[in-house]
Each structure stands twice: as C-alpha cells, then as structure tokens.
Structure 1
Amino acid sequence: MSKGKDRAAMARQVVAGQKAAERRRAVTLWTSVAVVLVLFVAGLIGYTALSGQDEGKLVTPSAAVDDGTAFAVGSGPVNVDVYEDFMCPACGTFEEATGPALKQLAGEGRITLRFHPVAILDRFSKGTEYSTRAAAASAAAGQAGKFTEFHDALYANRPEENTTGLTDAKMIELAASVGLTDATFVDAVNEGTYKPWAVQATEKFSAKGYSGTPTIVVNGEQITNPTTEAVIEAVKKVAG
C-alpha cells in the first residue's frame, strides 16, 4: 500500500513537473512573441515618424516657379535660367558683369529671369554648409517677396571659399538692410525651414546633367561660355 502511494505521488510529481514545464514554455513563447511585436511596432512607428518627418521638413515656397526650384523676375517671352551657388566665385563674377543687364531685360518685359539657388559648394565652408543655408535663406526671402534684394545683398557680401561663410545672424542682418524684417523670414532662417528644399533643388539641378555654377540656360539651351554678350545674343536669337 505504501509502495502504491509512493508511485502515485511520484506520478503526480511527474505530471506537475510536465505541466510546469509546459507553462514555462508557454510563458517563454508568448514573451518572445510579445517582444517581437513590440520591436515590430516600435520599428514601424519609428519608420513612420521618420518618413513623416522627412515629408514634413520639405517645404517648397509657394512663390517658387519651374517645378518649385526658382524665383522669377519679370514675365517676358524668353526664359533665362541662372543656376547659382552663393559661395561660387564665378557666380559672383557673372552676377557683377551680367546681372544688371539681365535684370534690365526682365524689367523691360523681354525675358523672364529665373534664379535657381543650388548648393554644390558646401564642402568649401568648413562644415557650416553655407551654400545650403544661403540657398535656403534666399528661398525664405523669395517667399517674403524680397528675393532679388536679398540675392543682391548676399553677392555683395559673398564670402570666400574655404571660410565658414556668413552666419545665419549675418544673413538676417543683411535681409534687414534691404527691408526684410518679417518674423516668418527670421524664423525660417534660424530653423532651416528651406534647407531640405535647397537639397532637392540641387538634386534636380544635377538630374538635368548640370554640374557647375553658374549654369546659364536660355529657353532650354545651355550657354557654354556665359559672357554678357553671349547671353544677350542668345536672347536676341530666341526672340527673333
């Protein structure tokens, strides 16, 4: 009788052990499933947040033309596109030599002058990404209706390559000197609102096969030697 009781007790222990083992396996399984689900959901939330952030950060100025990449002066029948980097020495030379003539043509209603700020020289601003920041600030100025004034102020104060470029505070100061003191503009510069736009505009520039600045295009035809005479001659040729 005693032996029978012992065997029954042992059997109960075995069954209890098996049940306990099954419970541990179930707990482990569901714990693993829960961990996987948590990681999956966290990853999904993170991806969605990042995607949403990227989309949210890309703000295209409503004042921009030509697929949101340029700011226009005038409304003449001939398009003259100027792709420029605000740190580019050659762009500064082109602006000084040819800018006034192009603006005059735009003012006379003979051309639509379209400025495309791009950022291909960030590597020459000692990590400050001046080209991108300046292009972004010019977009904020364009949105505020002061693109040309701010554009000219940036060139009048163009920093040399291999310097840190102008600070955001200095660009805001230059904007104020041409009558641009709007708080929305100031916030856009300080917060880098249009920096993703500058990156995208530069990507679109590269996608067209362009690589250097200034790049001057008259009604779709790139001017290989963009002197004042060459650009004006190309405009006359298109106008007929």
Structure 2
Amino acid sequence: MGRKTSGDAGARERIKAQREADRKREQRKRVTTIVAAAAAAVLAVGAGMWYAASSSRSETATTATAPITKQADGTVVMAKPGVESPVLDIYEDFQCPACQALEETSGATVKNLAAEGKVKVVYHPITIFGMEPTKSNSVRAGAAARCAPAGQWLAFHDKLFEEQPSETVKGFELPDLVGWGKDAGIEDPAFEKCVTSQEQAKAHQDYSKQVLGSGVIKRGTPTVLLAGTELNDTAFKPADLRQAVLNAAAK
C-alpha cells in the first residue's frame, strides 16, 4: 500500500472546501427563493386588501343631483332628462338595517351616477316586515315618504335612514317624521297633515303587497336590480357598483 502524501491531503482539503462552498451557495439560493416567494405573497395579499378596501370605499355625493319625479304608484325616479337606461331599481324598507347600510355605503355612488347621466334610478319604498313593532314603524315611514314633495323627497329619504330606529322598539313616531321633514327642507303645510293622518298608509301597503307578490324580492331588502339583474353584494361595493353601471350603460 502506498504512503499518503501531503499532496493527497491538500487535494482532500480543497474538495472539502469546494463542497462546503457549494452547500452554502445552495443554501443562499433556497433562502433567496423563499424570501422572493414570501414577498410575492405579501404583495398579492396587499393587492387583494387594497382592492377590497377601494371597492368598498364610499364616494362623496355631488351637490347637484338628478331631477326627482314621483310616480303614481309610489315609486320615485331619479334621472337626468332623456336618460331611460340602464335602469337601477332599488327596493328598500326604511326600517331595514341592511337597507340603511346600503344607503350609507353606496347611496352617494347611486346619486352621482344619476347626476352624471349614467343611469336611471327607480326607488321602490316598501314594507317587508310582518311583525311588530317593525311593521308599523316601516308603514309610518313609507307613508310619510309618499307625503314628501319631489323637491325634498331625496333629502327626506336620506333622513329616514339616518334616524332609523332599532327593530325592537316603536319608532318613526309621527311628530318625529314631521320634524325630520322640516329638517329636510319641507315647508308645505300639507306635508304635516298628510303625515299625521297617515293618508298614504294604505297606498303604501297595497304597493308593498303588489311587489312582494310579484316575486321580484327573492332574498329580502335591499334588492337592487341593474337592467333587471340582481346585483347582490356588488351593490354594497361602490367601485364595483359604479363599474357595473358603466358597463351596462356602454351596451
């Protein structure tokens, strides 16, 4: 057997050193890959969060709104002259918390789109509740809304949602409704008589029954239809709602 030389030892040391260098290089590559993947994941999550936040961010309503026209059946149209489509139908109950949330989130977007001439909005105030005190609360509010003049109807509509009572207590009391009408700029003395006598209560309930019997309300209120198609969660995301209306207007 030959004798080991110092040259053999040196070669082994060089091989060992090379293997160690290769190992460290592979380790650095793995770390770099993991960091890059993590960073990409963070960016993806961040982008998703940004989109979710931006799509749900409420707009600021412009000072000028589209003209309001009250219809004989109790519906209310908000649209610039000549704008007939697309149509955005909003079925809502003034006592409904989800309807209040829709108004708080997307109400400004709806108003802005109508003011821009991008959509014809049709409000359908109805009573969907069958139990007390919510049913009577809703009827009083819906009947009072029918009493509001067209010029102040939208402001009164918004005030009703702003003052919405709890579902567990009697609310929308007649004196309050009259006072909120004045807050909304209603000066016509006929409004107070109309509200306190609840002369529009039967018409409001009849229309509510008609709507509920038609099958258009499938999941409760709010029900928002764009060109006849229900928007579901899109209605609660202002950016998505805006884009949906613009897409429909472009067809």
Q: Structure 2 length as normaliser, TM-score?
A: 0.65
Q: 1:72 aligns with which of 72, 77, 85?
A: 77
Question: Structure 1 residues 126, 139: CA separation in 2 closer, same or farther (over 3 Å shift)?
Answer: closer
Q: 1:147 aligns with which of 128, 140, 153?
A: 153
Residue type of the partner of 2:139? T
Q: Distance in 2 between matches of 1:106 and 1:160?
A: 31
Q: Distance in 1 between matches of 2:134 and 2:224?
A: 28
Which secondary structure state, in structure 2, belongs to the residue aligned with residue 113 of structure 1?
Answer: strand
Q: Distance in 2 between matches of 1:190 and 1:121?
A: 22
Is the contact made by 1:122 and 1:132 (CA closer than 8 Å) also made in structure 2?
A: no
Q: 2:137 aligns with which of 130, 134, 143?
A: 130
Q: Where do 5+ consecutive residues of structure 2 fail to align?
A: 1-68
Q: Where do 5+ consecutive residues of structure 1 fail to align?
A: 1-62
Q: Distance in 1 between matches of 2:127 and 2:102?
A: 17
Is 2:230 the partner of 1:222?
yes
Is 2:226 the partner of 1:239?
no
Cα deviations by residue, 1:172-218 (Å, 9 ceiling, x for unpaired): 00110121131111111011111111112211221231151000011
Is 2:198 the partner of 1:192?
yes
Cα deviations by residue, 1:32-60 (Å, 9 ceiling, x for unpaired): xxxxxxxxxxxxxxxxxxxxxxxxxxxxx
Which secondary structure state, in structure 2, belongs to the residue aligned with residue 123 of structure 1?
Answer: coil
Shift of residue 230 of structure 1? Answer: 4.1
Which secondary structure state, in structure 1, belongs to the residue aligned with residue 88 of structure 2?
Answer: strand
Matches within 5 A, 1:199-210: 199-209=205-215, 210=217
Structure 1 stretches of 4+ moved >6 Å: none
Question: Structure 1 residues 154, 122: CA separation in 2 closer, same or farther (over 3 Å shift)?
Answer: farther
Residue type of the partner of 1:71? V
Identity score, percent: 27
Q: Distance in 2 between matches of 1:163 and 1:118?
A: 19
Matches within 5 A, 1:157-176: 157-176=163-182
Residue type of the partner of 1:138? A
Cα deviations by residue, 1:52-80 (Å, 9 ceiling, x for unpaired): xxxxxxxxxxx533x72411112333211
* Paired residues, number: 175
Q: Structure 1 length as normaliser, TM-score?
A: 0.68
Cα deviations by residue, 1:155-183 (Å, 9 ceiling, x for unpaired): 11111111101201001001101211311
Which secondary structure state, in structure 1, belongs to the residue aligned with residue 232 of structure 2?
Answer: coil
Shift of residue 126 of structure 1? Answer: 6.2
More displaced 10-residue stretch of structure 1: 96-105 or 172-181: 172-181
1:3 maps to what in 2? none
